[in-house]
Chains A and B, each alone.
Chain A
Amino acid sequence: SQELEQSPQSLIVQEGKNLTINCTSSKTLYGLYWYKQKYGEGLIFLMMLQKGGEEKSHEKITAKLDEKKQQSSLHITASQPSHAGIYLCGADRTTSGTYKYIFGTGTRLKVLA
């Protein structure tokens, strides 16, 4: 099984609807990142959460980190077709100065106009 599991795997919503994507880690989270990827393209960094209870927003996207639950959620308010893509959570697994990032299983979002 994957170290970072995302749910749902895929999501289709009508434009204007709110949605939530979850990311659950099997290990302690010391930092959790959210990226967006358009199909077949590179990843765009959305935001980083480092402390339990931390909440950040970027335009209509809000992410929260629940350190105790080893979980993060990404919430999109009033979704638009431009929000479509693949959302990936990422975790920092850096140890002893060796930098390493891993990714969650991904959530494919489609927004119907």
Chain B
Amino acid sequence: DTEVTQTPKHLVMGMTNKKSLKCEQHMGHRAMYWYKQKAKKPPELMFVYSYEKLSINESVPSRFSPECPNSSLLNLHLHALQPEDSALYLCASSRTGRPEAFFGQGTRLTVV
């Protein structure tokens, strides 16, 4: 199994809603990542978890709250988002000490 599975694939939410994005991998990877990608732009790193601990937070607003409940799961909790947060959110994982990352198909988020 070399897949990173993200759910949902599409999400439309209002600015007062609370929602969560989910990412799952069963490759035994201990590094997991959240990226945000706006149209026609490269992915921008948001968070990195290493051994289930948050190791990087790229100055992401607190309305995005990551959670890594176990070594296979990574969540991104969303609350009070703005329309400019609409983007493709990509999850990735990699083996620690190995550089190539595996990416999920992404969640297309629209904030209305």
Q: Which residues of A contact B (CB under 8 A)?
A: 31, 33, 35, 40-45, 48, 50, 88, 90, 92, 94, 97-106, 108
Interface string of B1-29 (1 = CB under 8 A from A): 00010100000000000000000000000
- Sample of 9 more A-B contacts, CB < 8 Å, known A43-B43, A43-B90, A88-B43: A42-B106, A43-B92, A43-B103, A98-B56, A99-B33, A99-B94, A106-B40, A106-B42, A108-B40
Given contacts A98-B50, A105-B42, A106-B42, contact A33 B106 (CB under 8 A): no
Which of B48, B99, B105, B106 sits near A31, CB closer than 8 Å?
A: B99
Shortest distance from the beta carbon of B35 to any chain A beta carbon, whole Å: 8
Cβ-defined contact, B100 with A48, below 8 A: yes
Chain B residue nearest in CB terms to A93: B45
Given contacts A100-B56, A103-B43, contact A42 B96 (CB under 8 A): no
Main secondary structure of the interface of B (DSSP, over half): strand
Q: How far is the CA of A35 from the CA of B90 in the complex (A)?
A: 14
**Which B residues are CB-close (under 8 A) to A98?**
48, 50, 55-56
Q: How far is the CA of A106 from the CA of B90 in the complex (A)?
A: 16
The verdict on B102 contacting chain A, using a C-beta distance below 8 Å, is yes
Given contacts A42-B4, A43-B43, contact A101 B101 (CB under 8 A): yes
Chain A residue nearest in CB terms to B6: A42
**Which B residues are CB-close (under 8 A) to A100?**
45, 48, 56
Given contacts A99-B94, A101-B33, contact A42 B104 (CB under 8 A): yes
Name the residue in B33, B56, B100 with the highest tally of chain A Cβ atoms < 10 Å from its Cβ.
B100
